[in-house]
Amino acid sequence: MSHRENRSSRGRPLAAILGCSGRALGGAEKSFFRDADPFGFILFARNCAEPDQVRRLVGALRNCVGRANAPILIDQEGGRVARLGPPRWRRPPPAATFARLARVDEGAAIEAARLNARLIAAELHELGITVNCAPVLDVPQPGSHAVIGDRALGESPAVVALLGRAVCEGLLDGGVLPVIKHIPGHGRALTDSHKALPVVGAARVDLEAVDFAPFKALRDMPWAMTAHVRYETLDRRAPATTSKTVIQRFIRGTIGFDGVLVSDDLSMSALGGGVGERAQAALAAGCDVVLHCNGMRAEMEEVAAYASPLDDAAQARLHRAEAIRAPPKPFERNGALARLRVLMEGMVVP
């Protein structure tokens, strides 16, 4: 039985979130998405020119799979990781801005982080985007690679957890689901996982005290994204994304996260084998959904050939997550912008 027949017979979408190539869908791309039936989609800067165009693209993607609530994801962290930017959209500050503010006024930092996330959510909701791959809960360690850098919300687990919750609350208030990442922690990596597999040798006790801590504090959030990192003291053979031990024993167990677990991008060079094999391994290890971002058709076809439909546990988690997403709360954008400026302009960092 083909995957297409299997999905059709069970009535379940493919356990995958896919990218698309440009600002509009061509006929062949529409046909592929209709046939593959991915659970959702992710947008990048290449897909976003102006608001009406993005709304049309979002509608076209959902039409392909016939689900009006199919999740549409984006990475709108702020700073250097922002798929929407000027002149059409506000450029949010990097997460480290709020970490610096927290050194002098923790309360102001929490308020600013929440307001900034609420402003992001307002823009995403207007476009039909329902899931934001933020906040980063990684805790950078001395000497670690700059791939996290100013994307981090602080240098201590406690501050990262406080500001991370503020970001999540701001997004949820705006009708957008947050994705905490990169679980169980990317902060010790000495290598950029986009280019190679980071290997972390820290003792388990240190990982639990530092790296796991913000994720454990926010384990009630609806979505989390895995780290393409191999932790020698947790699993010597496989990175977290494809490690049943890391996912079942530590992410689901020690950390206690029982929300939707999505892989980081399968097309990153940290993972070995073809993208189809990566998808199969991630789902077998316990990811609920796999993520493929670059929009390259041949790779997406391979993912579709190897991935499986959503299983019962994944469907239950996805339904719980969607139940959390509510219509945006009342919000006055200009007032929020003014208040955020006051908080940030008053920042004096020693």
Residue positions counted in the chain: 350
**169 burial via Cβ count (<10 Å: 0-12, 13-18, 19+):** middle
Mean pLDDT of 310-323: 98
Q: Is 312 a catalytic residue?
A: no
pTM, full prediction: 0.95
Closest-CA residue to 169 (of 209, 113, 224, 210) = 113
Computed on alpha carbons and rounded to an integer, the radius of gyration of the chain in Å comes to: 19
Catalytic residue check, 194 = yes
What confidence score (pLDDT) does residue 345 get?
A: 85
C-alpha closest to that of 242 among 194, 195, 290: 290
Take residue 73 and report the two structure tokens written for it.
Answer: 């994801």
Cα–Cα nearest to 172, from 226, 114, 217, 214: 114
Are the C-beta atoms of 261 and 310 separated by less than 8 Å?
A: no
pLDDT of 347? 67
Q: Which of 37, 173, 264, 288 is catalytic?
A: 264
Asked if 285 and 244 count as a contact pair (C-beta separation under 8 A), the reply is yes
**Per-residue pLDDT tens for 98-111?**
999 999 999 999 99
pLDDT digits (tens, 9 = 90+) for 160-208: 999 999 999 999 999 999 999 999 999 999 998 999 999 999 999 999 9
Q: For 45-64, what is each residue's pLDDT tens digit? A: 999 999 999 999 999 999 99
Q: What is the pLDDT of residues 242-301, one digit of tens each?
A: 999 999 999 999 999 999 999 999 999 999 999 999 999 999 999 999 999 999 999 999
Place 348 in a pLDDT band, splitting at 50, 70 and 90: low
Please confirm whether the linkage preceding 13 is cis (ω < 30° from 0): no
* Backbone phi, psi, residue 170, to 5°: -65, -40
Distance CA 335, CA 141 (A): 37
Instruction: Give the whole-angstrom CA distance, residue 119 versus residue 113.
Output: 10
* pLDDT at 9 exceeding the cut of 70: no
Is 311 within 8 Å of 9 (Cβ atoms)?
Answer: no
Q: Within 13 Å of residue 342, how many CA atoms lie on the same side as its CB?
A: 9
Element spanning 315, H or E: helix 312-324
Domains of the chain: 3-33+45-337 (3.20.20.300)
Closest CA to 30 of 71, 75, 60, 70: 60
Q: In a 10 Å sphere around its CB, with 0-12 CB exposed, 13-18 middle and 19+ buried, how is residue 242 labelled?
A: buried
Predicted pLDDT of residue 86: 96
pLDDT one-digit tens code per residue, 208-227: 999 999 999 999 999 999 99
Phi, psi of 173 (to 5 degrees): -60, -25
Pairing relation of β-strands 260-265 and 289-292?
A: parallel
Across 315-329, average pLDDT: 97
With beta carbons less than 8 A apart as the criterion, state whether 183 and 225 touch: yes
pLDDT of residue 10: 46
